[in-house]
A and B are shown apart, each in its own frame.
Chain A
Amino acid sequence: MSKYQKQLHDIRKPLNTISMQAELIRMLSEKLASQGDDIERLDASALKIIASAKDCSQQLQDLFEEIEHDQSNQPD
């Protein structure tokens, strides 16, 4: 697996978490509509989404800096 493929794989992980936490929030919201007893888990899901988005953002920044570094080292 190349360096960029590995980074791509690592970026997909938090993106997947973001997507699935959002799905969970949707499911909890549906349940809350009838019961209203899962506020804590809903909040935890929202926090996970924020954390995963930050993680993804940081990894994208790392990737950007690495590509920039690689390009600056390329012979003219």
Chain B
Amino acid sequence: MKSILLIDDDKDFTEVATHIIEYLGHIVSVAHTVEDANEWIDNNDFDHVFIDFMLPDGSGLHIYDHLSKTKTRTPKCTFITGNPKIKQAIGSIAGPSVDYLMKPIEREDIENALQKKTVKKAGSSNNKKLKADSVSKATALPKMHFGCLIGESSAMQTLYTMIERVARSSANVMVMGESGVGKELVAQAVHNASDCDGDLIATNCGGLSKELIGSELFGHEKGAFTGAIGQKKGVFERAEKGTLFLDEVTEMPIDMQPNLLRVLETRRVSRVGGTQEIPIDCRVVSATNRSIDDIAKENVLREDIYFRLAVFPIDIPPLRKRKEDIPLLVTSFLHELNAEHNESYEISDAQLKRLLDHDWPGNVRKLRHTLHRAFIMGEPGGKTIELPSTFASPFSQMSTDEGNDGGQLQAGKTIEEVEKALIYATLDEVGGNKTNAAEMLGISTKTLYNRLHAYGDDA
């Protein structure tokens, strides 16, 4: 059961679409204007939003923009249009969580949009031309495991085996790993591999205030508190016969945790302001970027809840420990970007070597962002993407300073590796200005250019 916001100024359409979506087993809220839609979005969390492109007081893109800016987790968005030309405008923002439907809409279109997995296979799109391109290059694309994971390293093979094993059971899973390793994708993989009928419902425990978290998790009855204008089902109810993903579970306020424990123990939930106990039937996959030691030491999660949630813990390896997967990830991301923007950029061997040489403290997310930036920076109509002069970020620099594992000044590194790291860190410090960087490093500009050339960076 998903919570859906349907936005269209055509009341005949919203009426019939509401009936159809409700018959498919979901909850629907309706807005006819941008203003109404934004009000719904500000006061509720939705799993999927259907947006008409043209509304009386603005464009559907205004609503998408509002969603992106105000929500920590942007729901899946499906634009509805009757004008084929508008597909191009939507295509420019297309990503894993955005697609579109052309009127007239059939029941199967709605079903497909709602059932579509969170992560599309690389290059999948409703655009027939792009689809054709994807098929022609499909042989070169890396294998997608469980419909959403990429990598053939031994660390990933171990992860796949764990996902396969736990999917056969109904055990709760706790996914651990550094920021950016893809914890939500692993939750999606567990859900995809499980033989369950329900949906994957996700919520971020760190992004909810104390006042709202009870209502989000357990739902509320009409009039339970100021602003509770109607009954609302919580995520436990909505994930019936499916999977509930609790992201950043260790950031949940400690005084709310006894309520969560009770639900996990009794498998029954009471809505806020309600008296009836409702049975629940879902697997809980939780995620945290804290280590077990941190969880225990910092007292962020009650021990009894930890053992309820981490019946089957899964540790996702950081990208630096599976560098052989970088070329596969790069191929997939680049193909996806090329398909979305109808381009044909490639990556050179020297650029790929630079990516392989980096430790990626921000993991796969940072790699994806770096590729996206390099794609944008590529010369229009050109062949090759343009990587930044350095991959360092202020956050990874902080980690280095703290002597974190992701740091670069470690015994065992060669002087050449440290020199390279220093050059790129200096370039980052001076915003890429090579003259200033050379002066700060105490070398000539020519020497700096020679070094960068040797690293395969001719920028």
Number of A-B contacts (CB under 8 A): 56
Interface status of B148 (Cβ within 8 A of chain A): no
Tally A residues with Cβ within 8 Å of B.
Answer: 22
Task: Report Cα–Cα, A57/B205, bound state, in Å.
Answer: 53
Chain B residue numbers with a CB within 8 Å of A16 are 10, 13, 82, 103-105
A55 to chain B, nearest CB (A): 9
Interface status of A5 (Cβ within 8 A of chain B): yes
In the complex, are the beta carbons of B105 and A26 less than 8 A apart?
Answer: no
Chain B residue numbers with a CB within 8 Å of A19 are 104-106
Interface status of A13 (Cβ within 8 A of chain B): yes
Q: Name the residue of chain B whose CB is nearest to the CB of A14.
A: B12
Chain A residue numbers with a CB within 8 Å of B106 are 19-20, 23
Task: Report Cα–Cα, A48/B15, bound state, in Å.
Answer: 11
Report if A17-B20 is in contact (Cβ < 8 Å); known contacts: A5-B83, A9-B82, A12-B104: no
B59 to chain A, nearest CB (A): 13
Interfacial residues of chain A within 16-51, with CB under 8 A of chain B in the complex: 16-21, 23-24, 26-28, 31, 41, 45, 48
Task: Report Cα–Cα, A19/B10, bound state, in Å.
Answer: 14
In the complex, are the beta carbons of B16 and A15 less than 8 A apart?
Answer: no
Tally B residues with Cβ within 8 Å of A.
Answer: 15
Chain A residue numbers with a CB within 8 Å of B20 are 20, 23-24, 27
Chain A residue numbers with a CB within 8 Å of B105 are 16, 19-20
Q: Name the residue of chain B whose CB is nearest to the CB of A26.
A: B107
Task: Report Cα–Cα, A33/B446, bound state, in Å.
Answer: 82
Chain B residue numbers with a CB within 8 Å of A26 are 107
In the complex, are the beta carbons of B12 and A13 less than 8 A apart?
Answer: yes
In the complex, are the beta carbons of A27 and B107 less than 8 A apart?
Answer: yes
Residues 78-119 of chain B: 1 if any A CB is under 8 Å from the residue's CB, otherwise 0?
000011000000000000000000011111000000000000
Interface status of B395 (Cβ within 8 A of chain A): no
Task: Report Cα–Cα, A27/B12, bound state, in Å.
Answer: 18
Interface status of B19 (Cβ within 8 A of chain A): yes
Task: Report Cα–Cα, A30/B206, bound state, in Å.
Answer: 43
Interfacial residues of chain B within 204-249, with CB under 8 A of chain A in the complex: none
Chain B residue numbers with a CB within 8 Å of A48 are 12, 16
Interface status of B17 (Cβ within 8 A of chain A): yes
Interfacial residues of chain B within 12-29, with CB under 8 A of chain A in the complex: 12-13, 16-17, 19-20, 23
Taking beta carbons and an 8 Å cutoff, which residues of A are in contact with B? 5, 9, 12-21, 23-24, 26-28, 31, 41, 45, 48, 52
Q: Can you list 14 residue pairs at the A/B interface with Cβ under 8 Å?
A: A12-B104, A13-B10, A16-B10, A16-B103, A16-B104, A17-B13, A18-B104, A20-B13, A20-B107, A27-B20, A27-B107, A48-B12, A48-B16, A52-B12
Q: Rank and list the top 7 A-B pairs by shortest CB-CB distance, nearest first.
A: A19-B104, A23-B107, A12-B82, A16-B104, A20-B16, A17-B12, A16-B103
Known: A20-B17, A26-B107, A31-B23. 18 other contacts (CB 8 A): A12-B82, A13-B13, A16-B13, A16-B105, A17-B12, A17-B13, A18-B104, A20-B105, A20-B107, A23-B20, A23-B106, A27-B20, A27-B23, A27-B107, A28-B23, A41-B19, A45-B16, A52-B12
